[in-house]
Amino acid sequence: MSNVILYIATSLDGYIAKMDHDISWLSNVEVKGEDYGYRDFFDGISAVIMGNTSFQVIKDFDDWPYADKQCFVASHSPDITPNDNVTFITDPAATIKQLKASSKGNIWLLGGANLADSLLRLDLVDELILSTIPILLGNGIRLFNAPLPELGVTLLSSQSYPSGLIQTHYKIIKNNKSA
């Protein structure tokens, strides 16, 4: 069975983007030849799921970065302009359950915060890989919003890099509810 992995960058003070959804501060840790394990992670996934706000930011990139993966965008709005790169979904929990049972690789929960929160509340996230960028944004879009249930985690690995980025990989301790 596939794992759902929230793989995301956050500022030191817990923000994933500025209030205007700007993520240019991520470039503070760009180092030639260093991908912080991204390629290995990406090669191990078969599907990507993201919220509509994340999609709105990513869709305007010059090249669609997930062309060889199944890609799903969770949206509350049925009035979505069709896009050849993604499948729009209104029930991310059902999609996750189906993907977990049928995918050959893991499932990347790309974000955003609202989707991550809802899937954490439903006990559908298996792992967290958090890349903490050495910057204090002071304000923005939080990685986690309250209230979340208390979730135990086990540290699988922690790696610090010369750029100041610290990457932590956690496994969520399941509460034995059927997910």
In angstroms, the CA 147 to CA 150 distance is 9
Give the domain CATH number at 120.
3.40.430.10
Residue 178: inside a domain, yes or no? no
pLDDT in tens for each of the 179 residues of the chain? Answer: 899 999 999 999 999 999 999 999 999 999 999 999 999 999 999 999 999 888 888 888 888 889 889 999 998 875 566 677 789 999 999 999 999 999 899 999 998 899 999 999 999 999 999 999 999 999 999 999 878 889 999 999 999 999 999 999 999 998 755 44
Residue 151 falls within a domain, yes or no? yes
pLDDT score, position 177:
52
What pLDDT shows up at residue 135?
Answer: 98
Please state the domain count of the chain.
1
**What's the confidence (pLDDT) of residue 82?**
64
pLDDT attached to residue 179: 43
Residue 82 lies inside a defined structural domain of this protein: yes
Q: Go through 29-66 and write b for each residue having 16 or more CB atoms within 10 A of its CB, e for each that does not.
A: beeeeeebbeeebbeebbbbbbbbbbbeebeeeeeeeb
